[in-house]
Structure 1
Amino acid sequence: MFQKILVAIDHSDSSRRVFETALTLAKSLSAQLMLVHVLTPVEKGYPERATWADISNFDTQLQQELMERYSQQWQTFEQQTLQRLQWLVNEAEDAGVTTDWTQRFGTPGSVLCQVAKTWGADLIVLGRRGHRGLTEMLLGSVSNYVLHHAPCSVIVVQHLPVADASTLDQAATVS
C-alpha cells in the first residue's frame, strides 16, 4: 500500500514523534523513507541577517564583516541540520529501513509537495504545531497547505504540549 513515505523534519518539539511514527509505519510496511528538511527564515535557530537598511550607514569594512559573520552562521546552521538528518537516516537504516534525505530552501508546504511529487511518495507524514488564530494566519499552516496540495495521502501527527507529554510519561510509569 504505502511503499514510499516522505517525512517532514524540522526543529520543532514534535519532529521526533513524526519521525518515530513514520519509522514504525515503514518497518511494518517494508517501505522506504525520504526525510525532508526545509530551510526557512522562521525556523528556530535560523541565523538573523541584518537588512541593507541596518548596515547601509556602516563603512564598507564593517558591512563586509557583518556579511561574513552571517555567512559563517548560515554554514553552521546548515551543517547542524544536515547532521541531524544524517543521524535520523542512520537510526532508520539501523532499524532496517532504506532511507534517503534532502534539504532544501523554500516555503515548507510547497517544497514538501514538490518533493513528494518528484520522488513519487505514497504518503507524507508531518507534524502539526497547533497554531491558531493570528499566529496561524501570519505564519501559515504547513500541515493545512500539504493536506490540500499533496499528490498523495497525508498523516498529520498531532503535537503534544509539554504538560500532556509529561502526563503520558507519568501514566506509562504507573502502568
Structure 2
Amino acid sequence: MYQKILIAVDLSEMGDSVFKEAVSLASKYEANLLLLHVLSPEEDYSPLPIPPNLADIYPAQGNDLTLDFWRQQWEEFEQKGAAMLQKRANQAAEMGVKGEYRQIYGHAAKTICKVAREENIDLIVIGRRGRSGLGELFLGSVSNYVLHHAPCSVLIVQHPQD
C-alpha cells in the first residue's frame, strides 16, 4: 500500500510521537522512510530572525556581534537538526526500516509538499501542535497546509496530552 513514507520531524517532543507512528507504518508495509527536517525560523527551537532595520531602530543592536551571534545560533540549530536526523535514521535501521534523511531550509509546509511531490511519496506523517486562534491565524498551521496541498495521503499525529 505504502512504498515511500515521508516523516516531517522537528526538534520538539512531538517529533517522538510522529517518528514512532511513521516507523510502525513503514515496518508494517515494508516501506522506505524519508525523514525530513525543514530548517525554518518558524520552528519553536530556531533562533529568532534579526529584523532587517534593527540598526536603524537600535544602533547598538545591529552590529556585527549581533549578526555573528545569530549565525552561531543558527549553525547550532542546523547541527542539532542533523544530529536528530542521524539518530532517528539509526533507530529506524535498528528496527529494520530502510530510510534516508534530509535537512532543507525553507517554509516548512510548502517544503514538505514540494519534497513529497519530487520524491513520489505515498504518505506524509506529520505532527499537530494544536495551535489555534491567533496563533494559527498569524503563524498558520503546517499540518493544515500540508493536509490541503499534499500530493498524497497525510497522517496527522496528535500530540499526546500530558
- On whether the aligned pair clears a TM of 0.5, the verdict is yes
TM-score, scaled to structure 2: 0.92
After superposition, give the CA deviation of every residue in 1:2-51 in whole Å (9 maximum; x if it has no partner): 01000010123221111000000111111100001111112122123433
Match of 2:90 in 1: 90
After superposition, give the CA deviation of every residue in 1:86-117 in whole Å (9 maximum; x if it has no partner): 10000001111111111111111110010001
Match of 1:39 in 2: 39
Shift in CA distance, 66/8, structure 1 to aligned 2, threshold 3 Å? same
The amino acid that maps onto 1:103 is Q
Let me know the Cα RMSD of the aligned residues.
1.6
SS of the residue 1:55 aligns to: helix
* Identical pairs, percent: 43
SS of the residue 1:110 aligns to: helix
Partner Cα separation in structure 2 for residue 48 and residue 63 of structure 1: 16
The amino acid that maps onto 1:134 is L
The amino acid that maps onto 2:106 is G
Match of 2:22 in 1: 22
Moved over 4 A (4+): none
TM-score, scaled to structure 1: 0.85
Q: Which one has the bigger helix percentage?
A: 1
Match of 1:160 in 2: 160
SS of the residue 1:155 aligns to: strand
Partner Cα separation in structure 1 for residue 109 and residue 155 of structure 2: 14
Partner Cα separation in structure 1 for residue 108 and residue 142 of structure 2: 6
**Number of matched pairs:** 160
Partner Cα separation in structure 1 for residue 48 and residue 128 of structure 2: 25
Contact 2:36–2:102, Cα closer than 8 Å, also in 1: yes
Give the CA deviation at 1:155.
Answer: 0.6
Segments of 5+ residues of structure 2 without an aligned counterpart are: none
Give the CA deviation at 1:132.
Answer: 1.6
